[in-house]
């Protein structure tokens, strides 16, 4: 029991929500990782004060609702672009998204709050349960791993651990480092008892020092990549009167300056259907002066439409083409879209009805003179499992995105942070072209070597780094973590079957 045991449930839930907000300060753009660690340190006190599994679940839900509510404030931005049609949905979107994601943490808290367990065992089961919850969040209902605990380490050397254990492994390692000492402090422990429970935190620190000591040197390919950032506001982007303005701007940025080896335009940067874009493709090829150009474009195939990337050759031909496969629910497609559209509910980026169709799955783009790229259209860069599913060993990651949907505060920077994480996990450079920013060249260690700021039109020439050797995570994915969690879960089930001492704490 803790000093919070005398508080009423609603008081503990309010405190939990406030701590969740503080915990979210570790995410971009503030990136105060100490805030996240401090908030997590207080979690065991809240957890141990719960008198039942229901109270524990509600406490976990409150903490996570505060965390996701603050982390996902940007989610209201798409609803404000066309306020007349979508504005009324904005508060509901934030409330339901934050509250829905928080259900994963509620389940974890409820599972860990077995009444017969000692506080020590409950803490370890909470770590395991939260690890499973965060893993599941990346898969259930197509997945949404945004604002994962691993993201708070992007601005620190701890991010290098992603190459070894991936984001879910780093999240579990974070919980292992913080919750045991938090549990000890909640129970008034000190001295050797507290020191013993700080061993995982010490191991975490040593692991960071170790990966920093062996970090490889990153070399350059010597190839120049041009990132084009047209800065087309979302409310103008699909206005036919503005089509020629933004196309001319991108053509000018492509044609200026020294000749690049590759040009990358952002998502949906070509304002015409691919089948009817022949003259525009020829203009692009001329402006590129012999360099291939990757452009974002929509294309139709029968009654299906796709959000695609195409490589425009020096001859003005779009080949190869990649179709986005991991679509944004209620953004690029709407489940039962024809029915919901009758109630005024439609996807933002989708043209009508059911919206975009998914492509066949993770794939590569072979870019002449550059190598094999993993194409990631916007939202696809937040899924590490999709990048791992690409066949073979590519040379680079290439993200084309339209972050105008995400507003101008936290959304674009959190999206950028996740792109940096994918680079570290794979040991590959990330080429990132964003409509309104942040366009960036990211090296295989997750460092930004060059960038264009948010809401600035222009282009950026940056040297493409060489890839590193395949990382452990790129070869194993989450399999070792899943096996470890399964073994621990089976062990916990076995312990549950044993009779407990009469005095459990």
CA–CA separation, 467 and 429 (whole Å)? 6
Q: Which are the contacts of 363, defined by CB distance < 8 A and separation ≥ 6?
A: 322, 375, 390
Which residue in 324, 332, 380, 425 is the catalytic one? 324
Mutual angle of helices 33-48 and 119-137, in 10-degree steps: 130
Active-site residue flag, 378? yes
Q: Rg of the chain over CA atoms, in angstroms?
A: 24
Distant-in-sequence contacts of 79-88, Cβ < 8 A, 24+ apart: 81/234, 81/235, 81/348, 81/405, 82/235, 85/344, 85/346, 86/348
How far does the chain reach from its first CA to its final CA, in angstroms? 9
Active-site residue flag, 324? yes
CA–CA separation, 460 and 450 (whole Å)? 8
Which residue in 55, 77, 267, 463 is the catalytic one? 267
Peptide bond into 123 cis (omega under 30): no
Active-site residue flag, 77? no
Peptide bond into 288 cis (omega under 30): no
CA–CA separation, 225 and 218 (whole Å)? 17
- What DSSP assignment string belongs to 189-236? --HHHHHHHTHHHHHHHHHHHHHHHTPPPP-EEEEEEEEEE----HHH
316 in the Ramachandran plot: left (φ > 0), alpha (ψ -120 to 50) or beta? left
Two structure tokens written together for 120: 């020590």
CA–CA separation, 171 and 149 (whole Å)? 5
Answer positive or negative: Cα dihedral of 405, 410, 413, 419: negative
Which residue in 378, 380, 425, 463 is the catalytic one? 378
> What are the catalytic residues?
267, 324, 378
């Amino acid at each position: 029991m803790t000093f919070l045991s005398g508080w009423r449930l609603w008081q503990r839930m309010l405190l939990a929500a406030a701590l969740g907000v503080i915990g979210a300060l570790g995410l971009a753009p503030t990136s105060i990782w100490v805030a996240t660690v401090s908030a997590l340190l207080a979690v065991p006190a809240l957890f141990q004060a719960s008198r039942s599994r229901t109270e524990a679940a509600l406490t976990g839900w409150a903490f996570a609702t505060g965390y996701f509510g603050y982390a996902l404030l940007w989610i209201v931005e798409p609803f404000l672009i066309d306020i007349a049609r979508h504005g009324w949905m904005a508060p509901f979107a934030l409330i339901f998204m934050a509250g829905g994601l928080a259900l994963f943490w509620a389940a974890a808290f409820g599972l860990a709050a077995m009444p017969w367990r000692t506080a020590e065992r409950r803490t370890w089961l909470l770590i395991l349960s939260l690890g499973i919850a965060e893993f599941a969040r990346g898969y259930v209902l197509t997945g949404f791993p945004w604002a994962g605990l691993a993201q708070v380490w992007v601005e620190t050397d701890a991010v290098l651990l992603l190459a070894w254990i991936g984001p879910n492994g780093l999240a579990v390692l974070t919980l292992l480092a913080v919750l045991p000492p938090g549990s000890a402090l909640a129970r008034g422990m000190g001295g050797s008892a507290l020191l013993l429970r700080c061993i995982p935190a010490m191991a975490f620190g040593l692991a960071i020092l170790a990966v920093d000591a062996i970090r490889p040197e990153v070399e350059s390919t010597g190839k120049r990549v041009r990132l084009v950032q047209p800065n087309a506001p979302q409310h103008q982007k699909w206005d036919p009167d503005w089509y020629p303005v933004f196309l001319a701007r991108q053509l000018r940025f492509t044609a200026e300056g020294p000749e690049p080896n590759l040009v990358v335009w952002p998502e949906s940067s070509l304002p015409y259907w691919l089948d009817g874009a022949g003259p525009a493709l020829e203009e692009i090829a001329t402006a590129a002066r012999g360099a291939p150009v990757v452009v974002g474009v929509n294309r139709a195939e029968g009654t299906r439409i796709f959000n695609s990337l195409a490589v425009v050759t020096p001859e003005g031909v779009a080949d190869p083409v990649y179709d986005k496969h991991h679509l944004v629910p209620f953004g690029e497609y709407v489940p039962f879209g024809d029915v919901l559209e009758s109630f005024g509910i439609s996807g933002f980026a989708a043209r009508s009805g059911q919206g975009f169709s998914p492509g066949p799955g993770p794939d590569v783009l072979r870019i002449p003179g550059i190598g094999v790229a993993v194409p990631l259209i916007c939202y696809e860069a937040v899924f590490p499992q999709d990048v791992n599913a690409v066949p073979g060993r590519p040379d680079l990651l290439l993200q084309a995105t339209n972050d105008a949907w995400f507003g101008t505060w936290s959304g674009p920077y959190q999206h950028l942070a996740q792109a940096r994480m994918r680079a570290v996990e794979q040991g590959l450079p990330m080429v990132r072209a964003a409509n309104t920013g942040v366009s960036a060249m990211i090296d295989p260690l997750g460092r930004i070597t060059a960038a264009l700021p948010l809401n600035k039109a222009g282009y950026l020439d940056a040297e493409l780094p060489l890839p590193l050797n395949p990382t452990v995570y790129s070869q194993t994915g989450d399999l070792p973590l899943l096996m470890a969690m399964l073994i621990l879960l089976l062990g916990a089930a076995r312990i549950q079957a044993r009779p407990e001492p009469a005095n459990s704490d």
